[in-house]
């Protein structure tokens, strides 16, 4: 059973899908705490509503990364809440080696593209502008690169001629909400073994 910390900066729909999967028995986990670098992020409100400890961590003085005092604070909070794994769910800061090393192959992220295509921001928009016919989402372990870690689960989403960035993102999110609990359950059940770049199921 995972003891999961969820970290996000936004609306937290993936966190909700994790909660739903736990409630429906599709995911053997408990959410130990939810952390956000954005004080009024809806993900914190969802956590409070679900009775999960919801904690704001000020990322200052940095704007785009989690390092220094804030990183140490996160590590302390995770320890105090007994978290043994981390799910990044729309966390908009780059995590750094200290946290990554402490949770090697225990920290996962969800990205709105079929990696290695379209890493970075607004991946669904990148796919649309590139003219890709298939977009999708990826759940992967977090390593020191940007969206480069070993891939656990991917789900494709066809691009329609009529798509706008908003409609495509909405369909990708539907698949994210299936992919994330599925990947976390594989982790929870001890079914993932990392062999170099590859994640094999045991
Ligand atoms: C998702 O699209 C995810 O792929 C990306 O950030 C978004 C988070 O959405 N990393 P939400 O806050 O879970 O609704």
- Whether 73 and 93 have beta carbons less than 8 Å apart is answered as no
pLDDT at 18: 98
- Whether 142 and 118 have beta carbons less than 8 Å apart is answered as no
Tokens of 3: 């003891």
Q: In ligand 1, which atom is closest to the CA atom of 11? A: 12
Mean pLDDT of 13-22: 98
- 34 DSSP β-pair partners: 6, 54
Residue of the CA atom closest to atom 14 of ligand 1:
13
pTM, whole model, 2 decimals?
A: 0.98
Confidence of residue 12 (pLDDT cuts 50, 70, 90): very high
In this structure, how many other beta carbons lie within 10 angstroms of the beta carbon of residue 106?
16
Confidence of residue 129 (pLDDT cuts 50, 70, 90): very high
Name every protein residue with a CB atom under 6 angstroms from any ligand 1 atom: 8, 10-14, 89-90, 110-112, 173, 176
Helices of type H across 25-115: 42-49, 69-80, 97-102
Helices of type H across the chain: 13-23, 42-49, 69-80, 97-102, 123-130, 165-188
Q: What pLDDT, in 10s, does the model give residues 24-59?
A: 999 999 999 999 999 999 999 999 999 999 999 999
pLDDT at 125: 98
Q: Which of 15, 18, 47, 89 to mutate to test the pocket of ligand 1 (most atoms within 8 A of CB)?
A: 89
Domain ranges of the chain: 2-110+137-152+172-201
**161 CA distance to ligand 1 centroid (A)?**
23
Residue of the CA atom closest to atom 12 of ligand 1:
12
Percent of the chain whose predicted confidence (pLDDT) is above 70: 100
Percent of the chain whose predicted confidence (pLDDT) is above 90: 100
Closest C-alpha among 138, 17, 37 to residue 91: 37
Question: CA-CA distance, 75 to 84, in Å (whole number)?
Answer: 11
Question: CA-CA distance, 150 to 71, in Å (whole number)?
Answer: 23
**10 CA distance to ligand 1 centroid (A)?**
7
Question: CA-CA distance, 137 to 187, in Å (whole number)?
Answer: 18
Residue of the CA atom closest to atom 6 of ligand 1:
90
Fold for the domain defined by 2-110+137-152+172-201: Rossmann fold (3.40.50)
Closest C-alpha among 54, 138, 145 to residue 95: 145
**80 CA distance to ligand 1 centroid (A)?**
26
Query: Catalytic positions, please?
Result: 111
Q: In ligand 1, which atom is closest to the CA atom of 10? A: 12
């Amino acid at each position: 059973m995972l003891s999961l910390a969820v970290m996000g900066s936004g609306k937290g729909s993936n966190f909700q899908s994790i909660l739903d999967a736990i409630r429906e028995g599709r995911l053997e986990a408990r959410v130990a705490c939810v952390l956000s670098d954005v004080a009024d992020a809806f993900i914190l409100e969802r956590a409070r509503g679900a009775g999960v400890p919801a904690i704001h961590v000020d990322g200052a003085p940095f704007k785009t990364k989690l390092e220094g005092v804030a990183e140490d604070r996160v590590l302390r909070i995770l320890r105090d809440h007994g978290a043994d794994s981390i799910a990044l769910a729309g966390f908009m800061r780059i995590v750094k080696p200290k946290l990554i090393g402490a949770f090697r192959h225990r920290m996962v992220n969800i990205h709105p593209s079929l990696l290695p295509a379209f890493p970075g921001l607004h991946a669904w928009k990148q796919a649309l502008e590139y003219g890709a016919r298939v977009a999708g989402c990826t759940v992967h372990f977090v390593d020191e690169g940007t969206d480069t870690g070993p891939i656990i689960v991917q789900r494709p989403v066809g691009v329609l001629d009529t798509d706008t960035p908003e409609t495509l993102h909405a369909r990708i999110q539907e698949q994210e909400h299936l992919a994330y609990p599925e990947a976390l359950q594989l982790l929870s059940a001890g079914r993932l073994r990392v062999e170099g770049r590859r994640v094999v199921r045991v």
